[in-house]
Amino acid sequence: MTVTAATTRNDYVATSGQTVFPYTFTALADGDIKVLKNGTALTLGAGNDYTLSGIGSYGGNVTLNSGAATGDKIAIYLDMDLARTTNYQNSGDFLALDVNGDFDALWLALQQGTTDIERTVRRPQVDPSTINMELPAAASRAQRLLAFDSTGAVTIEPYLNNETIVLNVQTATGDGVTTSYGLLNVPSSTSLLQISIDGLLQEVSSYSLAGSNLVFSEAPPVGAAIEIRAFVQKEITSTDLSVNEFTGNGSTTSFTLSAPAIENNTFVYINGVYQFKSTYSVSGNTITFSTAPPNTSGIEVVLAAFVTTQLPVPGDNTVTTAKIVDGAVTAAKIASAPISVGITTAVTSTSITATVNTHVYVSAAGRTITLPASPTIGQRVLITVGNFTDTVVGRNGSNIMGSATDFTMDAAYLSIQFIFTDATQGWVMS
């Protein structure tokens, strides 16, 4: 028998009630063919899931004993044992049937291996052989993500990449003359800016970037409210991964973690398979699964704790924001409660008492901005001085950096974020 060139796998999406699925390769024995239905292996036999035809020739049919449902995925593939059972004897028979069968098995094994290779991640022929595609050693790649460097070579990265993109909001007031406005946060391109004047979104072509300045082609009108939204990069300066390991028993759904967790920075694996975030929830030190992990299953929960620092802008005092912390309350850390998102901006020319999670832009000199009373851990206030003159920050009963005195932002300061930590340190500046 000759062996026709073929791919030793066929995939189908079934129609309602479909039972017959052709295979287009050669198999020498019934056991050399495997069939999957929606990823689950089926069992050969008239009293089981399917029967076969065409064994020993090129191609045949897999016939299901029960019709498939619409959309069922059927996979048929060659999975023959790679073993040589023919053994020629000295002075023995050298029959064509035996020789052909022996060589047929060899070629089918090569076709099977080629099909398997085609289903792997591999380097294309256009790439030079000098690119290193070998995996790093197990100790180096453990708890890391597979990635590729600038040459296309295999490398590894931590679970969290080295940077993220955040949205910063800045406001100003037009005077009918000024076209250039200094940016607190400078993106890499005007396409990463969203500018509105009196609530109307401006076309990108109507402004440009010049260093750390936003420049309008035409000065905004007198009294116009300008809102500048900038998407800027933040660089992770420190990353701390902690791994929690548990064993499922088929009934327990809640497990206690070694540290408080935030869902978006929790990575869960059961028997090495990544779990979608919709399958569990986290609250403080507890993770709860919607369905109990199977008995004896290995559960791995990776917690990421990191601090981000805004990339420096020329002439600007950068702002440091604790995004996730490990639970210790100190002057250098925020407590385990996550910082609220969705900070709003308030522009004022008078002395006011700030509300929590607000960006206060002070547009007049000699004003006092009083911090909120009775704050809770993780709340914050960002104060920006737009007049480059002294502004007093009133502590309102809480300490500032451990001191029971108000704080003065002099002309050297541009922006300071105040984050409440605990009763001893009070508001910590970052």
pLDDT in tens, 17-44: 999 999 999 998 899 999 999 999 999 9
| Per-residue confidence (pLDDT) for residue 304, from 0 to 100 | 60
Q: Which residue has the higher pLDDT, 192 or 11?
A: 11
| Per-residue confidence (pLDDT) for residue 1, from 0 to 100 | 64
Q: Which percentage of the chain shows pLDDT scores above 70?
A: 81
Q: Is the pLDDT of residue 259 over 60?
A: yes
Q: Locate tokens 């020329």: which residue?
A: 314
| Per-residue confidence (pLDDT) for residue 14, from 0 to 100 | 95
How many CA atoms within 13 Å lie on the side-chain side of 326? 13
Q: Is the pLDDT of residue 283 over 70?
A: yes
Average of per-residue pLDDT values in the chain? 79
Euclidean distance between CA atoms 365 and 232, whole angstroms: 29
Q: Which percentage of the chain shows pLDDT scores above 90?
A: 28
Considering only CA atoms, which of 280, 247, 253 is closest in space to residue 264?
280
Band the pLDDT of 165: cuts 50, 70, 90.
Answer: low
Euclidean distance between CA atoms 285 and 305, whole angstroms: 14
| Per-residue confidence (pLDDT) for residue 237, from 0 to 100 | 44
Average pLDDT over residues 138-142: 82
| Per-residue confidence (pLDDT) for residue 124, from 0 to 100 | 82
| Per-residue confidence (pLDDT) for residue 166, from 0 to 100 | 57
Q: Is the pLDDT of residue 306 over 70?
A: no
| Per-residue confidence (pLDDT) for residue 233, from 0 to 100 | 57
Output the CA angle 377-383-385, nearest 5 degrees: 165
| H-run or E-run covering 51 | strand 50-53
Euclidean distance between CA atoms 325 and 419, whole angstroms: 13
Band the pLDDT of 403: cuts 50, 70, 90.
Answer: confident
| Per-residue confidence (pLDDT) for residue 167, from 0 to 100 | 66
Q: Which residue has the higher pLDDT, 133 or 69?
A: 69
Band the pLDDT of 47: cuts 50, 70, 90.
Answer: very high
| Per-residue confidence (pLDDT) for residue 353, from 0 to 100 | 93
| Per-residue confidence (pLDDT) for residue 158, from 0 to 100 | 61
- Provide the 3-class DSSP secondary structure of residue 32: helix
DSSP secondary structure of 69-112:
PTT-EEEEEE---------PPTTS---HHHHHHHHHHHHHHHHH
Domain boundaries, the chain: 1-120, 158-326, 338-429
pLDDT digits (tens, 9 = 90+) for 332-380: 332 333 333 346 777 888 899 998 888 888 877 788 999 999 898 878 8
Band the pLDDT of 292: cuts 50, 70, 90.
Answer: very high
Band the pLDDT of 278: cuts 50, 70, 90.
Answer: confident
| Per-residue confidence (pLDDT) for residue 342, from 0 to 100 | 44
In the CATH hierarchy, which fold is given to the domain comprising 338-429?
Jelly Rolls (2.60.120)
pTM of the model: 0.36
Q: Is the pLDDT of residue 160 over 60?
A: no
